Structure 1
Amino acid sequence: MILSDYRMTTGGATGKDDQSLPPSVYAVVLAGGRGERFWPVSTDAQPKAFLRLVGNESLLQATVRRIRLLLPWTQIAVVAGETHAELVRAQLPELPEGNLLLEPQGRDTAAAIGLASLSVERLDPHAMMIVLPADHYVPDAEAFAAVLRRAVELLVLHPDWVVTVGITPTRPETGYGYLEVGKSLAQPPGAFLVHRFLEKPNRQMAERLAADGCHYWNSGIFLWRNSVIQGLLAQHMPDVWAGLCRIRGAWRVREALVREYSAFHRQSVDYGVLERVENGIAMIRADFAWDDLGAWDALARVQPVDDSGNVIVGEAQLVDTAQSVVVSAGPRVAIIGLSDIIVVASNDGVLVCPKGRAQDVRKLSGKRDPSQERMEQ
């Protein structure tokens, strides 16, 4: 359960000092999300992060490839569910065995980050941590790496702060959380203080937030010193932190991990911790293209379209059909005379819905706790 006991002495992932991050920086990739809005291709057996939705690599592989520009394998950990351990090993064969942290049950990002912090502290009690969702789309890896370098620079300047990465809105998006920023900071470029986190807004509010120039999309990318996030968990989620301390005291004892994890409520670190922090949160503005690929309609933003505005993945034949997303992960699909729809077919089922209802696909999984409607890792 622990990261490899390794220290960098020179260079980074590329062996070049100007490309590397400090040796006390560790990246934690969260790959425990269920990806319910990508049913029927995303399933319990193979969730969204392990799918090849864009290009020839999975979203998890693409995420790790980006962070590998900055860090060696020995300073990268992946948190995933126990049932997906073999998927991670197959997709990331270079990941050291000790860098794969396995959750017995999914308990959202607060618990996953807490578990990772216990592993990191065994290597370096003064470590800095970068937390990355495994299922985002970022086409420009070099620009992504440059932003993370600035974020680490900001954290070095203010070691007791939480640093996040904000995305400039390009549309009034109701499916994302937002960051409200205040004054800009002198260093590094593109740094701002964060006043508050806002949950997913309604359409009217999203239109205002996207246009006012002081709100950014919350990317879910966070940086902090390990001791800082542990202190925030202890302050704002004391029951979870108490359970994590018991896991720490019985490290590598699976029975203790299962017992404590089963008692945790599902809660994101955004809602459980960060929304409650009044001061000491800053943001680096991202200057790279980004999409969290939250639902099937997102493919229309990141995949090429045909002359009628359709995204077609797999075996499909379309006649008089426009502005639609059609995905076949199994049977051949044929569509005639429809527009603005989503059709997804796999061996596990067939989905048909209007594009405007893409977010509702998660309702097919059954009744959910409202707290899970917040950030899904």
Structure 2
Amino acid sequence: MLKMEQFVTPVIMSGGSGTRLWPLSRQARPKQFLALTSRYSLLQETIKRLAGVKKQTSIIICNEEHRFLVAEQLREIDQQATILLEPIGKNTAPAVALAAFKVAKENPEGILLVLAADHVIQNVNAFEKAIGRAILLAKQNYLVTLGVLPTAPEAGYGYIEQGKLLADDSYQVKQFIEKPSIEKAKHYLKSGGYYWNSGMFVFSAQAYLAELEKYQPTIYQCCQKAMQSTTIDIDFTRIDKEIFSECPSDSIDYAVMEKTDRAAMVTLDAGWSDIGSWSALWDTIDKDGNGNSTQGDVLLEQTTNSLVYASKRLVTTLGIDNMIVVETKDAVLVATKDKIQQVKSIVNTLQQQNREEIVNHTKVYRPWGFYDSIDVGERHQVKRITIKPGAKLSLQKHHHRAEHWVIVKGTAKIIKGSETYLLTEDQSTYIPIGEIHSLENPGKIALELIEVQSGSYLGEDDIIRLEDRYGR
């Protein structure tokens, strides 16, 4: 068995929006944070998959909005990582450059294992062997990509054509190929020597930066300068926004891999999927004898080859085939499998209409816990709020709404103007418009309460924070 003696630094890119898995995946909680194939999220599965890899502390790259989600999901599986916050999305080449500068500073010979946060890999042993082979090439200054053995003529992936054999299951890259027509994809599958471009890479930090400086000097210089001006905020490393905003946006493939003469590929046959659509999820997860995959409270009659996902309610189907049905509390998607890739056009339309359903679920996560919207009217809103033990909402006030809190479970510490007091189950308090207030859970169990808001404007942007332990 091939052993991995070199410690690598996993670099996990967690900036995707996952629009093709709407309505479950949304801007505030995209697919990498969802439990789609197990009880763990795709991000958590990505981290757990590395248990057998000799590694340094992982680096996770995400945006400002998702930072607390990343931190909480790490805490849930008892893992630690360096969390780099991209102030602006600039695609993968700059993102990986930030991590490469950090690793190169700490270890000039450091090797990066670049992964997406939202992939599925079913055969972890085969994955580990591929990484081991890639590390051997990376130590020879190759920039290595993992090429997935295709199982179907897939027009939704880019392809890599293998070149000269370098070692077992390892080749020079002859060429990268854009997403082909279905006819060309069939040709690639039949002829062999072509692999899906997985977007996973192994290379030394120095080798990547050298090629980046050679082919994209502006990206190199912007990222170098940005990493010289980082700040630490709680568990996060912040990148200078003003400097990073000047950086061009480009992918690793376009910026470096398609230009370098040091590109190599290690083949991977490990049950890989990027879960790029609901039909891809159907391909990946278990099915019953009729070819159906289900989740939640579902009743199927005369239904075949379908995926039916129920989040909150009973979903029943009768006489359907090759369908995708996804139910959430505030949106339902029904589509044939052959049209499901076009869900992105639905998301674009909803975005043009400024619909909240593409941004948040009715259940919204915050660093202190979460809230679930129960009812919304023209001048009122009702939320069920859950606050983690020891957590605290910001000291704040509102210009347009009053709030009434009823404690359902646990103990609440209330700051209201100059008063500080405790409330327990079945007790309540009223916060008038403009009153400075805060809410804290001083107990050992989750605090649950019902909040009734009333006023002329109930938007989340009517929050004037005076103090906030989470730096918002």
TM-score tier by shorter-chain length is 0.7 to 0.9
Aligned-pair distance for 1:235?
2.7
Whole-angstrom distance in 1 between the partners of 2:334 and 2:283: 19
Which residues in structure 2 correspond to 1:46-85 (within 5 Å)?
46-72=29-55, 74-85=56-67
Aligned-pair distance for 1:53?
0.8
1:138 and 2:138 aligned: no
| 1:19/1:70 contact within 8 Å kept | no
Equivalent residue number for residue 5 of structure 1: none
Equivalent residue number for residue 4 of structure 1: none
- Give, as a single letter, the amino acid of the residue that structure 2 aligns with 1:246: K
| 1:77/1:100 contact within 8 Å kept | yes
State the secondary structure of the residue aligned to 1:165: strand
Q: Which runs of 5+ in 1 are unaligned?
A: 1-17, 369-377
| 1:299/1:311 contact within 8 Å kept | no
Give the TM-score taking structure 2 as reference length. 0.69
| 2:223/2:247 contact within 8 Å kept | no
| 1:5-40 alpha-carbon deviations (Å, 9 max, x no partner) | xxxxxxxxxxxxx855424x2111111111111111
Equivalent residue number for residue 193 of structure 1: 172
Equivalent residue number for residue 11 of structure 1: none
Equivalent residue number for residue 149 of structure 2: 168
Equivalent residue number for residue 375 of structure 1: none
Whole-angstrom distance in 2 between the partners of 1:206 and 1:51: 30
| 1:163/1:281 contact within 8 Å kept | yes
| 2:23/2:326 contact within 8 Å kept | yes
Whole-angstrom distance in 1 between the partners of 2:174 and 2:333: 40
Which residues in structure 2 correspond to 1:199-348 (within 5 Å)?
199-252=178-231, 257-277=240-260, 279-348=261-330
Aligned-pair distance for 1:265?
4.6
Aligned-pair distance for 1:76?
1.4
Whichever structure has more strand as a proportion of its residues is 2
- Give, as a single letter, the amino acid of the residue that structure 2 aligns with 1:260: I
Give the TM-score taking structure 1 as reference length. 0.85
Using the aligned pairs only, state the percent identity. Answer: 33
Aligned-pair distance for 1:96?
3.4
| 1:152-189 alpha-carbon deviations (Å, 9 max, x no partner) | 11222x22x2111111111000111110012212x3x1
Q: 1:323 to 1:28 in 2, by over 3 A?
A: same
Aligned-pair distance for 1:204?
0.6
Aligned-pair distance for 1:64?
0.9
State the secondary structure of the residue aligned to 2:275: coil
1:127 and 2:106 aligned: no
Whole-angstrom distance in 2 between the partners of 1:162 and 1:271: 14
CA RMSD of aligned residues (A): 2.2
| 1:247/1:257 contact within 8 Å kept | yes
Whole-angstrom distance in 1 between the partners of 2:238 and 2:150: 45
1:366 aligned to 342, 348, 361, which one?
A: 348
Q: 1:213 to 1:322 in 2, by over 3 A?
A: same
1:117 and 2:100 aligned: yes
- Ranked by relative contact order (alpha carbons within 8 Å, sequence separation 6 or more), the top structure is 1
Equivalent residue number for residue 159 of structure 2: 178
| 2:120/2:275 contact within 8 Å kept | yes
1:151 aligned to 134, 149, 153, which one?
A: 134
Whole-angstrom distance in 2 between the partners of 1:344 and 1:260: 42
Q: Which runs of 5+ in 2 are unaligned?
A: 352-472
Whichever structure has more helix as a proportion of its residues is 1
